[in-house]
Structure 1
C-alpha cells in the first residue's frame, strides 16, 4: 500500500485495503494504538482501553483474511465507544463518580453489532456526567480538549468520540444525541456526526422508552464512513417502540444507507436558515454560514431563506429535557448528592419546578411543533443551517453564559440549532466545511424529512464532494505532529474541576 499512515485512512478505504490483503488488521490496530499512545495525553479523548485484547482481536481478524473467510463490512476496523454504552470488560462510568468502578459484563447491542460486522473496539471515549452538557468534562476522567486547539472545548456530549476521530486515532466512533450531543462535537472537531430518525438505531435500554429525544448514531471522518457504520447499527428490535418491526424486518433497509447515489442538488427545494427563527446564533457563525451558502449557490436550484415554525421550541425542549432527567436521575441525586455534576443537578431541579400543567402543555405543543414541521417539508426537501451557534471556546468554560453580549437562558440554550430538529424527530447530519474566522472548524447541518435518513446522507455526500479539494471550504485537518509534543492535558489547571 502507499506511504499513508494506516491510522489516517478513512474507514471505507481501510476496509477496501484489508479486503484486498494490502493492509493487515494488525498493522491498522498497531497504528491506532500508536496514535492513542502518542496523542491522547494532549486531548484526553480515550479514557479506557485494553491494548492486549485489541491486538488479539486484530490477529484473529488477520487470520480470517488470510484464510479467505467471508469478511464483514467493518472487518478489522477499530472504533471508539462513547462511555455511555458497554464494552465487555471495560468500565462504563457514564462520566459519573457513582459508577467509577463499574465494569461492563457484556457488550451493548450496538457494540455487539459492530463486532459481528468485524469491528474492533479501540476503547471508551469521554463524555460529560451522564452526557449532560456541551462541554466534555467530568469528575472521573477530566476534560477532553479540541485537537485543533487544545485550549478549546471539543463540545459534547460525544466530545471524546469527535476528538478521537479528528486526531486520527480510529476511523469510526459511536455517539449519542439529545440536543446535538454528536452533531455539536462533530462540528467543533471537524468530523461527521449523524442523528438518525427515531427508531432507526434502536434504543433498547432507553429508560423513557416513549420519549424519543435521545438516540445513538454514527460518527466518522466522511459521510460514506458514517453511512457504512449506520448500515451496521440498524437492526429490528422491538425493545424500542419507535423501531417498526414487521415480519422480523424494519421498513428501512440497511443497505440503502451505505449504497446511496448522489442526488442532483439543483433539482431539490433547499431552505437555508441562520437560526431557525429562535437560536442565539453569533454574528461570526452567521457570516461563515453565509460564505458557505454563497460557495454552494452555483450547485443549487431553488433556495428559500425560511424555516419551519419553531414557536415555543425553547420551552418545549426545556420541559421535556427536565422531565427526562428527573425520571432518570432523581434517585441518584437523593442517594449521592455529592457526586452529581452541576448540569445534571440543574436539569433535575428544573424538572422538579414543573407541574402537571407545564408537562401537559409541553407535550401538546410538541405535537403541534411536529405537525408544523411535516407541513413545512411538503413544500421543501432539505434545510441547510449552521450546526452550532458559536465557535469553540475555552474548555474551562462549563457552558456559554452569553453570546455576542446577550445572556443565554440555561446551560444548553446555545445548542438550539441542534435541538430544533430533535423536537420534530427529523434526521440531521453535521459535516465539516472549512474554518470560521477564528480558524476553528465550521460544521454545516443538513436536516431532512422524518425517515429520509438515506436522503440526508446522499445530500451530505454530494456537498462533501463539492468541497473535497477546496482550500477554503474543505475538511480541516488536525496537525498530528503538534499534538505529539503538546503539553499533557492532565497537567493543566482545571483539568478535573467544574
Structure 2
C-alpha cells in the first residue's frame, strides 16, 4: 500500500481538498521517511519537524473548517541550503556559515508558503553550490539513493535525493551548470530550469547575469508544474523578473496545467553531445536506445544540434565572474576554510581581463542568435541531461571521461551549460536506467520563453516513457536503503581536499 509520503503532490493536494488525506498524516509520513532513510543518504541537513507539525495541524484545521485552500495546501517542502527559510540555518555548505540562521524567507519560499506549502527542512549542497557533487566539509557527502557510494550530483543533490526517496513531494532547486537537471537525472526525478526572469530571485548579487536560475523539483512533470505555478510573482528586486513580468504576473493556471501537446506536429533535434560535450559512451548509448522507443511519436527527429562554438569559454568566463563577484573576499580572508572549487573559481576569475569578459559576452550573444535561428526550423531539442553515469562521491569531479581528460572541474557539466549559456527553458525527466543500472535522465529543451510549451512536451514524453518498463521512472529500493550504514560512517564523509 502506498504511504502518504509517496503520493504525487497533485494527488496528495487533491485528497486534502476532498478531506480524504490529513495534512498531519502526510507530514508524519514524510517525517517518518526522513528519520528512516536519511541516515543512509544524508539529504536533509537541517530539520524543522516541530514547527512543520504545528503548521500541518493548522492546515488540517483550515481544511476541516472549509476555508479556501491554497494550491499547495498542506504539502511538505524541502528547501535547498542556498535559499533562506526563516528560522532555519542557511549554511551554504560552508563551515563559515554553520550558525547562520535566516531572518526571513527568500521570495520563492515566501510564495510557496503563501500557497500552503510547509517547510520540513533544508537539503544538502556542495559548498556554495560549486560543483556537481553534493559534499562539503560541514555536512558531509550526500549519497545516491540507488547506491549511496555514488554521487547524487549537485548542486541540488539533497533536494533530488529527498524527492527520490519520498521524504518530500516538492523541493526547491537552483541551476547554473545543471544544478537542477544533473541531480534530477542522477536520482530519477524531475528538475526544471526556466527562462531567466520567470522565477524571481531577491538574493542574487549579480542580478543582471542570467546564468543562475531558481527552479522547481518534483517526482513528475505535473507536480513540478503545480509548484512552478506558485513561484511566478513579479519581484522588482530582480531586474530580469521586472522586465519579463512588466505587463503583470503570468497566468498561473497555464503553468499549473499546460495544454496538451500533439507530439506528431513537432520537429525534434536530437544530440548526444551538442558537438562538444565529453559524453560517456554508456550515456550516449542509453540516450539513443531510449529515444528509439518513443521517437516515432514526433513528426520527425533529426540528429543535429545548435551551433555551440565557444560554449566552454563562454561558460568558464561567466561562471568565474559570478564566483569572483561573490566569493573573492571569502577566499582571501579564509583560504583555509573554503573548499577547492571556490578557491579555483576565484583564482580563475582573477586571471581574466576585461577583454576576456567582453569577448565572452560577445560570443554568448552570437551563440544565442545562432540558437534562435536553429529554433526557427526545429521545435525542441532532446539530449541526455548529463554526460556521465553516476560515479563515487569520493571523486570530487570526473578528471577523465572514457579515457580523455576533462578541461576543468565543471567540464563534465557541458551537456547542461550548453543550454545555460543561451537561457532556454529546459526540463530533465527520468527515463529508466542506463547500461550501468543507474538512473538516466533526458533533457527537453524548448524555445526561449516557451516554458509552458516545454513543460507540456515533457509531460507528454513522460507519459510515453512511463508506459514502458525499460524507460519508466526508476524507484529506489527503500527497504534495502534503510539497511545501509549511515553516510556519516563512510570513509572520507567530510573530507574535502
TM-score clears 0.5? yes
Residue from 303, 309, 313 that aligns with 2:307 = 309
Q: What is the CA distance between 1:74 and its match in structure 2? A: 0.3
| Matching residue of 1:370 | 368
In structure 1, the partner of 2:171 is: 173
Q: Which residue of 1 aligns with 2:392?
A: 394
Which residue pairs with 1:159 in the alignment? 157
Aligned-partner Cα distance in 2 for 1:250–1:278: 39
Residue 144 (structure 2) aligns with: 146
- Contact 2:268–2:380 (Cα < 8 Å) also in 1: yes
Change (3 A) 1:246 1:39: closer
3-state SS of paired residue (1:232)? coil
TM-superposed deviation, 1:258 = 1.1
Q: Is the 8 A contact 1:25 1:61 kept in 2?
A: yes
Counterpart position of 2:274:
276
2:473 — aligned with what?
Answer: 475
Residues 114 and 232, structure 1, Cα contact 8 Å, conserved in 2 = yes
Q: 1:249 to 1:118 in 2, by over 3 A?
A: farther
* Deviates most, 278-287 or 290-299: 290-299
The range that moved more, 240-249 or 140-149, is 240-249
Q: Distance in 2 between matches of 1:325 and 1:316?
A: 14
- Separation of aligned partners in 2, 1:374 and 1:212: 17
2:86 to 66, 80, 88: 88
1:247 offset after TM fit, Å?
A: 8.7
Shift of residue 6, structure 1, vs aligned partner: 0.3
State the number of aligned residues.
496
Instruction: Give the Cα–Cα distance (whole angstroms) in 1 for the partners of residues 156 and 246 of structure 2.
Output: 31
Distance 2:301 2:239 in 1: 36
Q: Secondary structure at the match of 2:272?
A: coil
Deviation for aligned residue 1:206? 0.7
Tell me the distance in 1 between the aligned counterparts of 2:482 and 2:367.
48
- The answer for the alignment partner of 1:193 in structure 2 is 191
Q: What are the ranges of 5 or more consecutive residues in structure 1 without an aligned counterpart?
A: none
Aligned CA-pair RMSD = 1.1
**TM-score, structure 2 length as denominator?**
0.98
1:367: how far off? 0.8
Question: How far apart are the structure 1 equivalents of 2:264 and 2:335?
Answer: 55
Distance 2:280 2:140 in 1: 28
The answer (yes or no) to whether the contact 2:198–2:244 under 8 Å persists in 1 is: no
User: Does the aligned pair in 1 maintain the 2:269–2:301 contact within 8 Å?
Assistant: yes
CA distance in 2, matches of 1:277, 1:50: 46
Aligned mates of 1:296, 1:97 — CA distance in 2: 47
| Structure 1: distance between partners of 2:313 and 2:239 | 25
Q: Classify the secondary structure of the residue corresponding to 1:243.
A: helix
Question: Would the alpha carbon gap of residues 235 and 98 (structure 1) be closer, same or farther in structure 2, given more than 3 Å must change?
Answer: same
1:246–1:318 distance in 2 versus 1, CA, 3 Å? closer
Counterparts of 1:249 and 1:495 in 2: how far apart (Å)? 49
Q: In structure 2, how many angstroms separate the alpha carbons of the residues matched to 1:221 and 1:37? A: 20
Aligned mates of 2:153, 2:466 — CA distance in 1: 25
2:72 corresponds, among 59, 71, 74, to 74
- TM-score w.r.t. the length of structure 1 is 0.98
Q: SS in structure 2 opposite 1:303? A: strand
CA contact (8 A) 2:197 2:244 kept: no
SS of corresponding position for 1:424? coil
2:208 corresponds in structure 1 to 210
Matches of 1:159 and 1:247, distance apart in 2: 30
Structure 1 match to 2:251 = 253
Equivalent residue, structure 1, for 2:295: 297
CA distance in 1, matches of 2:201, 2:436: 37
